[in-house]
Structure 1
């Protein structure tokens, strides 16, 4: 069955790309559309009757508020639990996204059309109707699940660079349908959370007020809601797996670090696609972005700038936020808005917490795409010489790096295109003289090296499985770029089966799939998805670029952004 799926994906590159972009096209249909049922499903929440929709044996309850609206004086404050539901309502469409920041694309002239289309159709160019009143949750379940079913739950946290993203991007109905066909039914939950400055404002003022990392706090509140209400839908609150991709996976990893690694009973397992504890520093590192907002919104003269920002008209504040660097800005993955150490949600820098062992001791799956950095290197094509890349790293990516460490970094990641990303493509894909080199540094610094660092620190303490997605390698310049593995889970690929079994049994293995060995430092095995009709899933080892990643990890530990 899996070989047939892979064969369809690999008929041609345009076919692969069409399927990938089609995933977003389907998601952009305002809300998930279902066939009109004869009898609408209902569920009882407190004293309210909530009405959903039914299609093909799956019931959906969409856009349910899980926290009080973070508007007015609640802006830039911790989420507040929703009051008990007392009025019946329909839950038939997803709620609006939290306020988004448009991604300003780099100039793409000269690139092949399929590459430009891939970038323009990527997650970072998808914007949705947004609103400050956005904290809603969606539940998709087998239609026959009852409050006594006690089914496992997968709680999806979307990605988008902490700047964009919405639950509307993903139709979890396919996951539930697949789980039913496997005989291991699960309930799919997805949540909105605040992004951009609304969710990740950072400064000394924010730190003093204890209101940092609000997007992570929103996710935490949604997980508390699941504990309280998922039983009404047929879910088991003791069997929750948190799952995310990109910044969603980073969020999952940081949920594992909260409260010193105490899950508070909110989840029992974690599944991460392209995201691990990242090398970020103190929340005051975002001061310059906070100060810019204060200046641009007219709050500079206020004695309490944070309180002033709560009173700024939404349109004015959002316009100011949109002027901050986006994910495709020149500084790329050194993001303006992202989680940072706040002393409340994160008691120390994420990677130091990993070293201290303050990580939830739960089964995990963590994997990456092979060419994580290519998509984010398109904004640096003017970096073409050794001198320019030195300047770029020191001024844009790792501002506190020493000259000695910079020498070490550039020696570990040489200009040699044979060693650059897209990997294993030889002398091809040299978009600029430093493109493949920059792509290798960015991909390893933010994705690959943090994953390996996390797994090496957790090895022997808990069950671990890891994967590598190499599908789509033939796409010019981008290769197996960031987010292409989403097709393998939301597009009906093998990874969906592994996810479902992992959520059900705390082990991704099962009949009909390639056996997936556990990951340890002694045997760092990877389940690797490749472009092959006959052998689409292979076992490889997580030893590539070892010396380079070791050097890079040491540098980023000492120079968190």
Structure 2
């Protein structure tokens, strides 16, 4: 979904020079009739479409190019001059979508029906920008709640053009509870999540998460200029974006630093990953160094900064993606780095190092189906057991994993898409793998996070079971979009305004907070009864086994 706004009249002038923007108490229309806002000594010219005004592609950091590649992000200099903020900035470099040739023929009819990959705007290493979308009649002193969106894409892809933020703002206007919407680009793949001992020792791990944190600081500094309230900010994401939200909650010893005051996670929580410098991750770094021609250099990390963009980008793209045979065992993803994430994410949860803010977290019922399509060449139980052991739990013994194999049997009726009996049997092991992989990264971590935190902060959870009739993938990952009318969007907007997802349009009188005594799920269904309340007790034994194994042997 690409969105391009139409130019029209609107403007904002801002309030307090101490915050980094000009002093004024009124809104105005620029001399050319276009929406205009002044930040520092810079003038940003945006666009208007319908009831919203957009300021797009605003840089929040210095370009992470040249010697700033593979370094911590550096905040933008004070703005000066005139900026065209009417169109999206470039995407950060994207990972190539790779499918094993042996399975393409099997999965192409399924994958081909889905919208994968980035949009059509250019990619550039100079990509660290934010978009701000506001109601067209907002005033500087409106102090509206702020929704900060972090896109997903397996930490490999991410494109703000695919997510029409104006839909969120228009939805908030329809509910008469307006919000300001912010979206950010952050570095991806090897640019943002390069692993390895050298990266850890240099203190430059998880650069994509560091980018996100800097964008949140930008929101604190400038959002009042757009009519937003820096004291009413929630962070929100889907998939890798939701995982990012969860990791921002466990970063910095759980101190949110006032950067956000609530969190909304769709298909993502603090995940069961290990250390950035473990054996598997060091092999990824060494491979990148070798393919970039840096193996003979004394400082291999500095060499990676100095190789041409095209070389480094090609090396990143040559590394497997989430839709390759390795599936959710990603080469480039957040891991414990000793600084931003001082321990593995789930250990940080166990230690209680979690931002004490209200949160909502939910999953789709069939989280693992999309990610199991590329494993269609696994057809026997032995092959699948060996795959699970060698791909995810390389330091675990067969004895360690036997309870896990038993908890996820080859019985088709127990597999995903769930509740579909023996149907959707792409291969003899597909439904088993889909159940396992969806629970490993999404479902079990969500329940673990809730069980650890419900007594410390306000928590709510939901389950999306719509779309079960979709062949082979069912209620698949990211199908619960809030970028369209519906209960999830309304819950998000309610939460932004009240730090509580409840509201009159959800179809239930009360969505209770989650507790272990009453683990209530707001459940969205097909059919005549579109929403109901259910209990988060399904696959209890399997989730318990999964959590125990992944705590002992993080992936």
Confirm or deny a common fold (TM above 0.5). Answer: yes
Rounded to whole Å, the distance in 1 between the matches of 2:526 and 2:389 is 37
CA contact (8 A) 1:279 1:560 kept: yes
Matched, 1:224 2:217: yes
Residue number in structure 2 paired with 1:156:
149
Q: How far off is 1:456 after superposition?
A: 0.2
CA pair 368-126 structure 1, distance change in 2 beyond 3 A: farther
- In structure 2, how many angstroms separate the alpha carbons of the residues matched to 1:359 and 1:35? 43
Please state if 1:419 is matched with 2:414. yes
Q: Secondary structure at the match of 2:443?
A: helix
Note if contact 2:107-2:374 (Cα within 8 Å) is conserved in structure 1.
no
Tell me how far apart the structure 2 counterparts of residues 416 and 443 of structure 1 sit (CA, whole Å): 16
Query: Which residue of 391, 401, 406 corresponds with 2:386?
Result: 391
Within 1, Cα distance between the matches of 2:389 and 2:107?
Answer: 28
**Which residue does 1:239 correspond to in 2?**
232
2-structure distance, mates of 1:89, 1:418: 57
- Give 1:406's aligned residue: 401
The residue aligned with 1:32 is 4
2:490 maps to 1:494: no
Q: Equivalent of 1:105, from 96, 99, 108?
A: 99
Q: CA deviation at 1:128?
A: 4.9
Counterpart in the other structure of 2:469: 474
Of the candidates 81, 89, 107, which is equivalent to residue 87 of structure 1? Answer: 81
CA deviations over 1:240-293 (Å, ceiling 9, x no partner): 000000000000000001111000000000000000001111111311111111
Please name the residue that 1:16 is paired with. Answer: none
Select the residue among 192, 196, 200 that pairs with 2:193: 200
Query: Cα deviations across residues 385-412 of structure 1 (Å, max 9, x unaligned)?
Result: 1211121011112212211122111101
Residue of structure 1 equivalent to 2:264: 271
Q: Which residue of 1 aligns with 2:332?
A: 337
Question: Does the aligned pair in 2 maintain the 1:253–1:276 contact within 8 Å?
Answer: yes
Q: Retained in 2: the 8 A contact 1:102–1:125?
A: no
Q: Which moved more, 1:270-279 or 1:100-109?
A: 100-109
2:124 paired residue among 113, 131, 154: 131
- Give the whole-Å Cα distance in 2 for the aligned partners of 1:340 and 1:405: 23
Query: For the Cα contact (< 8 Å) 2:264–2:359, is it kept in 1?
Result: yes
Change (3 A) 1:413 1:499: same
- Structure 1 residue 536 and structure 2 residue 530: aligned? yes
Q: Aligned partners of 1:112, 1:537: CA distance in 2, in Å?
A: 33
Residues 388-438 of structure 1: CA deviation (Å, up to 9, x unaligned): 112101111221221112211110111111100000000111111111001
Deviations 1:154-195 (A, max 9, x none): 000000000011212111001101111211000000000000
2:480 aligns to what?
Answer: 485
Q: Partner of 2:183 in structure 1?
A: 190
- Structure 2 distance, partners of 1:138, 1:549, is 38
For structure 2, which runs of at least 5 residues remain unmatched after alignment? Answer: 11-32
Structure 2 distance, partners of 1:524, 1:71, is 47
CA displacement at 1:37 relative to structure 2: 4.5
Per-residue CA distance 1:507-544 (angstroms, 9 max, x = gap): 11122322311111110000111111x21111111000
1:372 aligns with 2:360: no
Whole-Å Cα distance in 1 between the matches of residues 34 and 511 of structure 2? 40
Residues 72 and 311, structure 1, Cα contact 8 Å, conserved in 2: yes
Check the 8 A contact 2:233/2:261 in 1, yes or no.
yes
| Separation in 2, partners of 1:318, 1:116 | 25
User: Relative to 1, partners in 2 of residues 1:269 and 1:164: Cα closer, same or farther, differing over 3 Å?
Assistant: same
Q: Deviations over 1:92-141 (max 9, x none)?
A: 0111111111111353435594x33334x23x566752100000000000
When normalised by structure 2's length, the TM-score is: 0.93
Report whether the alignment pairs 1:560 with 2:532. Answer: no
Distance 2:389 2:108 in 1: 31
Please give the alpha-carbon distance, in whole angstroms, between the structure 1 residues aligned to 2:480 and 2:130.
Answer: 24
Partner of 2:13: none
Match for residue 258 of structure 1?
Answer: 251
Matched residue SS, 1:284: coil
User: How far off is 1:44 after superposition?
Assistant: 1.5
Counterpart for residue 350 of structure 1: 345
Q: CA deviation at 1:448?
A: 0.1
The structural deviation recorded for 1:33 is 3.0
Higher RCO (CA < 8 A, seq sep 6+)? 1
Aligned equivalents of 2:340, 2:34: Cα separation in 1: 40
1: CA distance between counterparts of 2:320 and 2:36?
44
The 8 Å contact of residues 127 and 165 in structure 1, kept in 2 or not, is answered as: no
Matched residue, 2:540: 546
Matched, 1:508 2:501: yes
Counterpart position of 2:448: 453
The residue aligned with 1:464 is 459
Contact residue 127 and residue 164 of structure 1 kept, 8 A: no
CA distance in 2, matches of 1:126, 1:407: 43
Partner of 1:17: none
Q: Tell me the TM-score normalised to structure 1 length.
A: 0.92
Q: Does the CA contact (< 8 Å) of 1:67 and 1:136 recur in 2?
A: yes
- Give the conservation status (yes or no) of the 8 Å contact 2:106–2:376: no
Deviates more, 1:96-105 or 1:243-252: 96-105
Instruction: Quote the RMSD (CA, aligned, Å).
Output: 1.4
Contact 2:153 2:240 in 1 (8 A): yes
Output one character per residue of 1:214-236: Cα deviation in whole Å (capped at 9) or x when no partner: 00000000000000000000000
In structure 1, distance between residues paired with 2:265 and 2:302: 36
Report the secondary structure of 1:467's partner residue.
strand
Runs of 5+ in structure 1 lacking a partner?
A: 1-25
